[in-house]
Chains A and B, each alone.
Chain A
């Protein structure tokens, strides 16, 4: 199992690396296209601001590479949002893998949403063994709108897509690496996913 965490200078990726280490997997940080293409599984992380993250992806050509990947890819937090068509954050065009848009929470809820909330309406092998209304740790100011690629939803002022799937691409708004045992189960499930051709 060769697991790559795409390293494009965005945020805190150490936590993800440690979470896999707890599962006995050494995840490699890389921005090298050849290495990424040769991986079995790929994590696309992201913490920080969307437009500057997208700028870093463009500088390295990863914006072209990522949508072409054939292996299971898991976008986490901002990584998931960047896989969408567009985000209001910095009015940024995304990679367009998920056919949905990312908007800012209204100010009638506290922004960012910070803490543990439940995920429900689960439909994906990614959530094998995860019960409906399981708690996950979330920190975000922007959310992905529902679409027919939604595989989990969460309520925070509105009901939004807290996970998405398009073919081999998976995206989660929450942080499985910080979501206790249930989060670990999701990472384990991701490691077991196979691409259906």
Chain B
């Protein structure tokens, strides 16, 4: 049976990981390659690198980092953040990234999803959607959640699936950072509406939240950052507990 995936997310700036990490064995907690290797060894199923660099020069550093990660890490990984052109994706894939995730750029120019799916295949096109529930309606937000739009989450998700997205990474801004659990109601609705995998993001605080998002949220994968980085949840232990609760995981 296809297993549910656990995905640590690493924020990258100028080719270095930014959020603090609390791994005892790391020589250099800012080194994305070292962190990625550690996560792979701990049983992470995939990794996501989110580039939050502000300048083009810094993005060039990211390409270099992607190459080093691909050289040394034996599990799949996705690169996202500031990707807006076919050329940029081509460069990332050539450096060894398995998938890319696009967000605001897809909202600004939806044809980008088609172009990427046609050229590289749906399997490497992840569309990340940040949304916030306002008066009962889920509205898509841009630029890391700072700019609200009038676009409905579910309509947009359906549209990008039709345009060729291979996967949706949905972050609930109402839940992100709260550690109160994932947006399972919206996730379940997405899963029902679409026939591509959905990654749940935003709200992970304890092991039960992962159980709930797989059972109630029907998510195919769950992404988290701080609970893993600070060692609050160990991936091995998390997966053992999921298995105990009859959720298929790779152990």
A binding-site residues for B, Cβ under 8 Å: 11-12, 14-15, 18-19, 21-22, 47-49, 107, 110-118, 135, 137-141, 155-156, 175, 177-181, 183-184
| A111 / chain B contacts, CB cutoff of 8 Å | 195-196
Instruction: Tell me if B120 and A48 are in contact (CB < 8 A).
Output: yes
Query: How far is B250's CA from A177's CA once the two chains are assembled, in angstroms?
Result: 17
Chain A residue nearest to B167 (CB atoms) is: A114
Q: Is the CB of B123 within 8 A of A15?
A: no
CB proximity of A188 to chain B, nearest CB, Å: 13
Q: Are B3 and A178 in contact (CB under 8 A)?
A: no
Of the candidates A22, A49, A112, A137, the one whose C-beta lies within 8 Å of that of B76 is: A137
Known: A110-B197, A115-B2, A117-B2. A178 touches B121 (CB 8 A): no
A32 to chain B, nearest CB (A): 20
B100 to chain A, nearest CB (A): 11
| B197 close to A15 (CB less than 8 A) | no
Which residues of chain A are near B2, meaning CB under 8 Å?
Answer: 113, 115-117, 138, 156
| Nearest CB in chain A: distance from B186 CB, A | 17
Interface of A is mostly: mixed
Interface pair A14/B1, CB less than 8 Å apart: no
Q: Which of A118, A141, A178 has the most chain B CB atoms inside 10 A of its CB?
A: A178
| With A14-B94, A178-B74, A180-B40 as contacts: A117 and B1 at CB distance below 8 Å | yes
Distance in angstroms between the alpha carbons of A139 and B5 in the assembled complex = 13
Question: Do B96 and A15 touch across chains, with their CB atoms under 8 A apart?
Answer: yes
**B83, chain A: closest CB distance, angstroms:** 15
Residues in chain A near residue B5, CB distance under 8 A: 115-116
Q: Given A14-B96, A18-B96, A114-B123: A179 and B74 within 8 A (CB)?
A: yes
Interchain nearest-CB distance for B197 vs A (Å): 5
Instruction: Determine the chain B residues whose CB is within 8 A of the CB of A22 once the complex forms.
Output: 71-72, 74
Report yes or no: B70 in contact with A112, Cβ–Cβ below 8 A.
no
A-side contacts of B167, CB under 8 Å? 114
Nearest CB of chain A from residue B214's CB, rounded to whole Å: 12
User: Which residues of chain A are near B93, meaning CB under 8 Å?
Assistant: 11-12
Known contacts A48-B120, A110-B196, A178-B76; is A15 also within 8 Å of B3 by CB?
Answer: no
In contact, A12 and B96 (Cβ under 8 angstroms): yes
Contact B123 A139 (CB under 8 A): yes
For residue B220, CB closer than 8 A to chain A, the reply is yes
Known: A178-B75, A179-B74. 15 other contacts (CB 8 A): A11-B93, A12-B94, A12-B97, A14-B95, A15-B70, A22-B71, A22-B72, A107-B195, A112-B166, A114-B167, A115-B3, A115-B5, A115-B197, A180-B74, A184-B74
**With A115-B45, A116-B3, A180-B75 as contacts: A141 and B220 at CB distance below 8 Å:** no
Residue of B2, B46, B94 contacting most chain A CB atoms (<10 Å)? B2
Contacts of B46 in A (CB 8 A): 115
Contact B195 A135 (CB under 8 A): no
Q: Are A183 and B1 in contact (CB-based, < 8 A)?
A: no
A181 to B75: give the CA distance in the assembly, Å.
9
Among A22, A110, A111, A138, the most chain B Cβ lie within 10 Å of the Cβ of A110
Complex CA distance for A14 and B96, rounded to whole angstroms: 5
17 contacts between A and B (CB under 8 A): A11-B120, A12-B93, A12-B97, A47-B120, A48-B121, A110-B197, A111-B195, A112-B122, A112-B123, A112-B166, A114-B123, A114-B167, A115-B197, A116-B5, A118-B1, A140-B123, A178-B75
List of B residues within 8 angstroms of A21 by Cβ? 71
3 shortest interchain CB distances as A-B pairs: A14-B96, A135-B250, A116-B250
Q: Does B31 lie at the interface of the complex (its beta carbon under 8 Å from any beta carbon of A)?
A: no
Kindly state whether residue B221 has any CB partner on chain A within 8 Å: yes
**CB atoms of A155 and B1 under 8 A apart:** yes
Contact A47 to B195, CB < 8 A, known contacts A15-B70, A137-B75: no
* Residues A114 and B75 in contact in the complex (CB < 8 Å), given A14-B96, A49-B121: no
Q: Tell whether B235 is near chain A: CB-to-CB under 8 Å.
A: no
